[in-house]
A and B are shown apart, each in its own frame.
Chain A
Amino acid sequence: MKREPLSFKQTVYLLILFIIGSTIILPVGTEAKQDIWAAVLLAIVMTLPVVLVYARILSLYPERNLLEINEQILGKVVGRFINFLFAFYAFTLCALVLDNFGQFINVTAIPETPLAIPMLILCLLALWATKEGLEVIARSGEVYLPIIVFVATFTFLFLTPNLNINRLQPSLYQNSGGIVSAALHLFSFPFAETVIFTIIIYCTNKTKAMAKVYLAGLLIGGGIILLSVTSVMAVIGPERYQASYFPAYLAVQTINVGDFLQRVEVVVFLIAIFAGFIKISLCFFAACKGLSNALGCKEYRFLTVPLGLLEFLFASNLFNSTKQMAQWASEVYLYFAFPFQVALPMVIWILGEVKRRGRQGSPEVDLHDELR
């Protein structure tokens, strides 16, 4: 039987898992302090138009992903060069997430194990999943998301006695600079990282309204992030949030139900590894696809092994310490990601629209449907 393309639900699940990914373990939006909820909301609002642009690009050329669209719009040479850049971005992002999880596991739970071991295993798993194909990743996502939602709900319920709304005050007082800066960071990590999805999915009959897919994924994923960071902030307060590398872990540590359900943070964050694995696999998949396209190969699967090795080496030599990782995330990543998340998609979109107008007489056919 023919393998089906991803369904609407699978794509949305993947988007949600991708957005949750490493975001829930890392200290995101520290600049906003107690107004972090506002920063998340602002970041979602900022991401909306960008995401609609991604969706629009895909809808311009049905049955094609960004790589093929690039070739179509920019021509073979330039298009492939741009695809190479995108593959590089996916590669880097994959290494970053891999590193985040490696550091997280290493610092919080098993400090004596070399950092590289969990990273290597995660990398091998992502390699295997990529070799099996996108459908396997999507189905795994369908298995994981309910588990994540289940565990997260219970974690949230157990955390409620520790929530203290006082820690979120004073709210919105002369903190606009912090909020905007935090929102920018949240925009680049994780929301606009969904540009990776343009490489791996394409517009089919089943996922006709690409904008709908993106909006659903962004809003649900963003909602989960909003809930999680706000509750973490309300449990540990802005001072400890800022000081910690992994604030959510600190917050979950405070769970104590009837003196027997305590010290469960390891189990809770095991579940986060599911989301992280999906994010790593998707990025790695995108990197393989992008590179194979840039090199003009039809098949991407043969690239997984050598690229996996390089990925692991890159990730394990990227940072020497958790401090460096945090510093890089807060100081450099925003500027590094900007071209891939905003600039290049904008250019592609505009060129695509122009080409489309040139190609067709009436370009306004379903514009309203898509950008509604």
Chain B
Amino acid sequence: MSEGEGKKAPYTLPIGPTHPALKEPVMFTFQMEGETIKDVDFAPGQTHRGIEWMGMRRNPVQIVHLTDRICGICGVVHTLSFCLAVEQIAEIEVPERADYIRVIVHELERVQSHLLWAGVAAHELGFDSLLHLTWRVREQAMDVIENITGNRVNYGIVQVGGVRRDITPEQHPLIEECLTTYEGLLSSLLDLFLDDRSIHMRCRDRGILTYDDAVHLCTVGPTSRASGVNMDLRQDYPYAAYGDLDVRAILPDQYAGETRGDVYDRIVVRLLEVGQSCGIIRQCLSEMPAGEITAEPKIAKLLAVCKKAHGEAIGRVEAPRGECLHYVRMDGKESPTSWKVKASSYSNLMSWIPMLRGEQIADIPIIVASIDPCLSCTDRVAVIRGGRRNILTKEELHRLSVEATRRLQA
């Protein structure tokens, strides 16, 4: 065809850990033939901070804020599943109102996270206008979240035993307004994403994950639902207030009439879930019971209760990216003896390999993004220790600082 395509010798293409296609650090090694991917290998763990290890040295109240920062996008889900586990060990009964507030914040997070993802996916396709559009409308959800929790990201609203802030009646109209906007926007968003010829060309039948692969590789969340696996903790294993609400998993055949397990189906699932979340929040707002918002408002007392607790438990929630699981074991000390975080992306990363095989370089960004990877979640555990020698000595650091001053004054 041309000189470029004619060269078919296999070669290796490394991508990462810092590459514009990857919003987070991960190291890929592709075996290429021309523009086609023959094989893939990847090394996560570029952002390990050893969070679990830190957690095993801190008390539950501190850990709650640490879990918030396992991942900036899925702030509430990690905290929630950690709290669910600790509450189970310490036998703390969470007030019903707190369950509802947890669900509301949880679903608001899902709305903003899916919109965020949609924008990022559009950006990976080179469709910046859609990035700007989705992120523009996302700001309304961010405003509501900021209003409820006091911060745009890292909400810090969930605490062991309940929630830290109530949703007051004055905030209801604000949330309602936001929901109305999104419900109105949804059909046009679906049009913009799913009817667009150029998106269709890039996403249909790209990065296919079959039903069997999805099950065998233990994928979770929208990634597995897009492959037709009926799996949603909110329906299967109702936690918090989801038992009272009638949630059903969203599968792509509800929109397109068929399931192909490709990137397109993942867009379908996520966009439809935005609408679903709006419905859930609406229902929660109208059915929210009155009462306390926390089982133990006195933090000092809460710490004492946690210190006495013995046992192990699992907290599990359906994060925007899929199942998020925290295993906690406490042995009557201030800090837990074991804490294992399983972020949703941890389960989904393996699915990259069947998805990417046989695709093109151009598809890498969108396929990698299509599982909505959250590597800071996944990487939290492992330790990256002294990989290489410390290249920078003190003198060099000094030299760099001197240069820094000079280069600005020059």
Q: Do A and B come from one complex?
A: no
